[in-house]
């Protein structure tokens, strides 16, 4: 995680856009196989892979999201294609897989996927991946990708592709990407409520996200989120046994952690 955040910071310092850097960061995690997203996704109850992803650009609050894709190497690319090149926000199923070529995602077979809970069973639990990024122009982007909960029921869709639940970005406020048991993040509209608390209550990212995460915990849910505000302040709260996380600010101050670090 440290090496990845350093690479993305270097790209931002070279004037790359928040959009390009957010996509690149999520793609790297989709490809590595140690997270329950992209290559590391586990099969559902019917033995199939089902992938979800979303992305939101804070300048005009444009967004793209996909669900129940089965053959995409990089779901985040197709979510971005929907945002950039279609009038839609959210597509699901076979039509998503059909967009792979147009979106620049390779098509892969079932043998590509190596479930993270098989190859990384000795590691702290690792699930949904996400990135929140602000560039030198002040543009803010949030991107999130997942294979869902481990060994989930076929057809189940969590918070990741739902704008306002698992992902949200607004240049005037900040950005949020969530991970955890999606049903609870859906029921609390977690991402948009964190943004609302920062906007209307003038709360800092940690205060806003901790309040929503406490509510999720009281309902019996668990997970975490990465939060960035327009001032560059960062929060990485979680209520699980661990969450892989990394951040770096404009001055190069870096935070990297997995369990209670």
Helices (H), ranges, 162-258: 182-187, 190-200, 205-218
The active-site residue out of 128, 160, 167, 179 is: 128
- Residue 10 corresponds to which tokens in the numbers above? 């270097």
Please answer whether residues 99 and 78 qualify as being in contact, where contact means their C-beta atoms are separated by less than 8 angstroms. Answer: yes
Three state DSSP letters for 108-143 = CCHHHCCCHHHHCCCCCCCCCEEEEEECCCCCEEEE
d(CA 159, CA 146): 10
Using CA atoms, how far residue 118 sits from 33, 36, 126, in Å, is 10, 11, 12
- Residue 95 corresponds to which tokens in the numbers above? 């039509």
d(CA 241, CA 174): 26
Q: From its phi and psi, is residue 220 left (phi > 0), alpha (psi between -120 and 50) or beta?
A: left
Is 179 among the residues known to form the active site?
Answer: no
Exposure of 117 in the CB half-sphere (CA atoms within 13 A): 14
- Residue 136 corresponds to which tokens in the numbers above? 């030198």
Helices and strands in the chain, H and E counts: 9, 11
List, by residue number, the catalytic residues: 128
């Amino acid at each position: 995680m440290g090496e990845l955040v350093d690479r993305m910071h270097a790209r931002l310092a070279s004037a790359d856009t928040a959009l390009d850097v957010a996509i690149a960061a999520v793609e790297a995690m989709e490809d590595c196989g140690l997270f329950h997203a992209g290559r590391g996704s586990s099969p559902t109850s019917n033995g199939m892979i089902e992938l979800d992803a979303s992305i939101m650009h804070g300048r005009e609050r444009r967004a793209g999201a996909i669900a129940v894709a089965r053959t995409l190497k990089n779901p985040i690319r197709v979510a971005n294609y929907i945002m950039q090149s279609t009038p839609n926000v959210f597509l699901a199923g076979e039509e998503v897989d059909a967009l792979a070529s147009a979106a620049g995602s390779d098509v892969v077979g079932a043998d590509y996927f190596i479930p993270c809970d098989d190859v990384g069973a000795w590691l702290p639990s690792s699930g949904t991946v996400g990135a929140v990024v602000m560039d030198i122009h002040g543009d803010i982007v949030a991107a999130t990708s997942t294979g869902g909960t481990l060994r989930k029921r076929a057809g189940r869709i969590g918070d990741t592709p739902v704008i306002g639940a698992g992902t949200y970005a607004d240049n005037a406020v900040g950005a949020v990407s969530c991970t955890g048991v999606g049903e609870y993040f859906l029921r609390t509209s977690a991402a948009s409520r964190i943004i609302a608390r920062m906007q209307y209550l003038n709360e800092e990212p940690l205060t806003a996200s901790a309040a929503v995460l406490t509510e999720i915990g009281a309902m019996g849910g668990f997970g975490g989120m990465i939060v960035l505000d327009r001032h560059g302040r960062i929060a990485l709260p979680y209520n699980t046994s661990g969450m892989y996380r990394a951040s770096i600010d404009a001055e190069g101050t870096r935070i990297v952690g997995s369990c209670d670090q």
